[in-house]
Amino acid sequence: MPKSAADPASRPMRADARRNYDRIVAAAESLVAEHGAEASLEEIARHAGVGSATLHRHFPSRQSLLEAVFKGRVDALCATARDLLPDPDPGAALVSWLRAVGAHAVANRGLGASVMHGARDGDPTLGSTCHAMITSAGDALLDRARHVNAVRPDATITQLLKLIGAIASATEGDPDGPAEADRLLDLAIDGVRAR
């Protein structure tokens, strides 16, 4: 993302500005999970307890706000993978991370696609950077699981991520979407386990 008011690294923020920024991102995360990527900016500002002008000072476009939410979620997934890497049971660590990716994908409700489609207005490298981060994090877990024969040797992280994406997409409109996604992920994981 180009240096802008939406980029907290572009200049130091005052403490109150940082709190507003964090509250806006938290409100956007919550409302995107509830209403999808088209969540109302006015509702996000109201939910964050800030005015519309404050929201737009930090995020000059919907795209810049969605990018901040998406990047934060990807960072969290990668941190989860790093935390799971030393787990003494590499197979269980991989499954735990895949469940976290599944929950992330279900909660996105169109966020990833929206960020990718709008990348021309924001940071055009964000999608590929986030994809590379997730792939790298998952590959490390998959390699460990492969070394202890916990997964099929021909399974790739790209295939596993595609399965999770398909499951999230298939269950997005279900009233019991997260639970159904988890059940489908169980079926997929059984198919990935080493025989």
State the CATH number of the domain containing residue 69. Answer: 1.10.357.10
1 within domain boundaries = no
175 within domain boundaries = yes
77 within domain boundaries = yes
Q: Model pTM?
A: 0.75
2 within domain boundaries = no
Highest mean pLDDT of the ranges 17-26, 123-132, 168-177: 17-26
pLDDT tens digits, 12-54: 888 888 999 999 999 998 898 788 778 899 999 999 999 999 9
25 within domain boundaries = yes
Domain count for the chain, please give it: 1
Q: Which domain holds residue 159?
A: 8-192
- Inter-residue contact 24 to 46 (CB < 8 Å): no
Q: SS3 for 151?
A: strand
Q: What share of the chain is helix, strand, coil (3-state, %, to 5)?
A: 70, 0, 25
